[in-house]
């Protein structure tokens, strides 16, 4: 089987080429050093292409086209990794041009539509997916439309998702699924794939390359062409664990019906104001004439504190994204999708150190024409990444209506408490076991819990509450307790009798 890869971005004569090495002479200078770096990168790409061609030769004929598409995408990602600079040139960051970030209030009315990990129970035994289905079903019924739900899975979760979806057979929402690409993990030392055959049953050799893979995987699945044929114009992309990410009609109206002096943006990123909990979040900058998503990993270490400054970089990316489908297709087909490569190191159980090359969906902003940011209310960013986030959403801080969560009107100020739960609460099972009932948090400002701490039913937490059980101690918060501006430490045990 003879398979080759296109090398449009870096010239290598063929997939098995090894470039001739050279030695730096006694007059070697910076130019020779740069030539050596370039030569090394070319050799690494040539070696990788040779390995990928070998891998394709090991697959069954019926899977050749699929595997060739997957590995071609991986090859392009690897090439970007080789030529990428690890950090931005801080001196090239420019002030954001006028109109780059639009205030949400300037978009107009919401047309009367208020409010707005998929199987974890959030409220009333409803999972993230339950709530998302409720949101879209309500939208479709209210406006007589057919907005479909599309779920992107990894190869690790696809089978489980298909089983879960069976329970929604009677829900009036069209649901489609597709899988992210499956890319080979790279040996950190050799920069070559650790997998040796595509027929080997070894999931540890593979990884899903981050949500930035959405654009290519969506196109490769055939769904992008299907929705274009159906007359769809935009997609709204969000994390399923962001309970504030609903289809917002003000934003939809803004992208579909621009004012006469404006063109419709091909891409829109929802941003929101930074708080002390968000200082590491990616922000929008103007860089080399384009809007760009700047992540903390791209910041030179001498400027990290400046990046975290709320006064200079006041907003961060919520990962709620809107993209024009025909523009997306054009960018993917013409291979013009430029996204910064995230290098994710891993240590495998078998003792190998590997790297995964990933991308973030928001980084695509610089590839689209007329891209803008919209500064949305914090209520559109309610992510559940940790059990401390889950505690907030499970509490009485939020009201739930047709799948949409809104901050309770009984809370007297519109900000959410800062909650820090210790390592005893890290896993969802352990977290749930430590709460005999979710506390009343309506008047809470700050909660820190550390150590072996357990909560009884009907507990109320107000103001600033700090509960610290030292090593070997255990604290049981009695049922019905009201803790307001209290520090609890030492050993407090409630025993059954």
Q: Each residue of 233-264: pLDDT tens digit?
A: 999 999 988 988 999 999 999 999 988 888 89
Residue 123: closest CA among 382, 472, 482, 394: 394
Checking if the pLDDT of 127 tops 80, the result is yes
CA distance 466 to 319: 32
Residue 118's pLDDT band, with cuts at 50, 70 and 90, is low
Backbone angles phi, psi at 263, to 5 degrees: -100, 155
Residue 32's pLDDT band, with cuts at 50, 70 and 90, is low
Is residue 117 a known part of a binding site? yes
Is residue 241 a known part of a binding site? yes
Checking if the pLDDT of 8 tops 90, the result is no
Three-state SS for 386-430 is CHHHHHHHHCCCEEEECCEEEECCCCCCCCCCEEEECHHHCCHHH
Say which residues have a Cβ less than 8 Å from residue 421's Cβ, sequence separation at least 6.
386, 387, 388, 391, 431, 449
pLDDT digits 0-9 by tens, 408-427: 999 988 888 999 999 999 99
For the chain, domains (ranges, CATH) are: 90-380 (3.90.550.10), 387-489 (2.160.10.10)
Q: Which residues are catalytic?
A: 385
How far apart, in Å, are the Cα atoms of 314 and each of 71, 98, 282, 311, 372?
Answer: 39, 15, 11, 6, 16
Highest mean pLDDT among 25-29, 146-150, 160-164: 146-150
40, exposed or middle or buried, with CB in 10 Å at 0-12, 13-18, 19+?
A: middle
Is residue 211 a known part of a binding site? yes
Residue 495's pLDDT band, with cuts at 50, 70 and 90, is low
Would you state the structure tokens that stand for residue 434, as one six-digit string? 């430590």
343, exposed or middle or buried, with CB in 10 Å at 0-12, 13-18, 19+?
A: middle
What value does the CA radius of gyration of the chain take, rounded to a whole number of Å? 25
Residue 341: closest CA among 87, 42, 91, 154: 87
CA distance 276 to 251: 27
Lowest mean pLDDT among 100-109, 289-298, 309-318: 100-109
CA distance 41 to 35: 10
CA atoms in the 13 A half-sphere facing the CB of 254: 26
CA distance 93 to 288: 8
Share of the chain above pLDDT 90, in %: 65
Checking if the pLDDT of 279 tops 50, the result is yes
Pairing of strands 93-94, 283-287: antiparallel
For range 308-319, the mean pLDDT:
91
Share of the chain above pLDDT 70, in %: 88
For range 20-46, the mean pLDDT:
61
Lowest mean pLDDT among 60-69, 110-119, 372-381, 458-467: 110-119
For range 362-381, the mean pLDDT:
94
pLDDT digits 0-9 by tens, 166-225: 889 888 899 999 999 999 999 999 999 999 999 888 889 999 999 999 999 999 999 999
The enclosing H or E element of 106 equals none
**Average pLDDT in the chain:** 87
Checking if the pLDDT of 10 tops 60, the result is no
Is residue 176 a known part of a binding site? no
The per-residue pLDDT for 497 is 46
CA distance 53 to 55: 5
The per-residue pLDDT for 493 is 67
Would you state the structure tokens that stand for residue 393, as one six-digit string? 């959403």
Lowest mean pLDDT among 51-55, 90-94, 200-204, 465-469: 200-204
Checking if the pLDDT of 100 tops 90, the result is yes
For range 272-297, the mean pLDDT:
90
Lowest mean pLDDT among 160-174, 216-230, 345-359, 463-477: 160-174
The per-residue pLDDT for 260 is 82
For range 282-289, the mean pLDDT:
93
Global confidence as pTM? 0.83
How far apart, in Å, are the Cα atoms of 299 and each of 89, 208, 211, 359, 456?
Answer: 9, 25, 21, 16, 45
Beta bridge partners of 193: 186
Residue 29's pLDDT band, with cuts at 50, 70 and 90, is low
Checking if the pLDDT of 403 tops 80, the result is yes
């Amino acid at each position: 089987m003879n398979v080759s890869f296109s090398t449009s971005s870096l010239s290598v004569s063929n997939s098995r080429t090894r470039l001739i090495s050279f030695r730096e002479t006694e007059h070697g200078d910076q130019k020779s050093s740069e030539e050596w770096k370039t030569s090394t990168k070319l050799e690494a790409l040539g070696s990788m292409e040779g390995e990928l061609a070998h891998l394709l030769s090991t697959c069954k004929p019926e899977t050749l086209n699929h595997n060739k598409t997957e590995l071609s995408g991986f090859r392009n990602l690897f090439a970007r990794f080789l030529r990428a600079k690890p950090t931005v040139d801080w001196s090239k960051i420019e002030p954001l041009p006028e109109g780059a970030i639009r205030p949400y209030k300037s978009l107009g009315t919401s047309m009367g539509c208020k409010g707005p990990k998929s199987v974890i129970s959030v409220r009333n035994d409803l999972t993230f997916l339950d709530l998302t289905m409720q949101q879209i079903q309500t939208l479709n019924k209210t406006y007589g439309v057919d907005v479909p739900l599309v779920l992107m899975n990894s190869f690790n979760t696809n089978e489980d998702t298909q089983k879960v979806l069976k329970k929604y057979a009677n829900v009036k929402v069209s649901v489609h699924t597709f899988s992210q690409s499956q890319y080979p993990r790279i040996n950190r030392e050799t920069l070559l794939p650790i997998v040796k055959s595509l027929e080997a049953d070894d999931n540890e050799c593979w990884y899903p390359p981050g949500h930035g893979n959405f654009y290519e995987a969506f196109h490769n699945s055939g769904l992008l062409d299907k929705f274009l044929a159906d007359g769809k114009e935009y997609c709204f992309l969000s994390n399923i664990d962001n309970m504030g990410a609903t289809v917002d009609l003000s934003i939809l109206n803004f992208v579909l019906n621009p004012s006469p002096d404006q063109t419709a943006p091909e891409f829109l990123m929802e941003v929101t104001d930074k708080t002390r909990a968000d200082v590491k979040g990616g922000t929008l900058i103007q860089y080399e004439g384009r809007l760009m998503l700047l992540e903390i990993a791209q910041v030179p270490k001498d400027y990290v504190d400046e990046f975290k400054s709320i006064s200079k970089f006041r907003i961060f990316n919520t990962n709620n994204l809107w993209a024009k489908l025909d523009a997306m297709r054009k960018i993917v087909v013409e291979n013009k999708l430029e996204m910064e490569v995230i290098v994710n190191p891993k240590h495998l159980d078998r003792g190998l150190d590997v790297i995964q090359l990933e991308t973030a969906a928001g980084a695509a902003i610089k590839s689209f024409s007329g891209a803008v940011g919209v500064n949305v209310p914090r209520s559109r960013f309610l992510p559940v990444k940790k059990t401390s986030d889950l505690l907030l959403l499970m509490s009485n801080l939020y009201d739930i209506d047709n799948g949409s969560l809104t901050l309770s009107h009984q809370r007297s100020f519109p900000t959410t408490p800062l909650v820090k739960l210790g390592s005893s609460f890290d896993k969802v099972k352990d977290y749930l076991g430590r709460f005999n009932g979710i506390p009343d948090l309506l008047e809470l400002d700050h909660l820190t819990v550390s150590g072996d701490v357990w909560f009884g039913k009907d507990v109320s937490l107000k103001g600033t509450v700090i509960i610290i059980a030292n090593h070997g101690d255990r604290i049981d918060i009695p049922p019905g307790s009201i803790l307001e501006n209290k520090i609890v430490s030492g050993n407090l045990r409630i025993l059954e009798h």
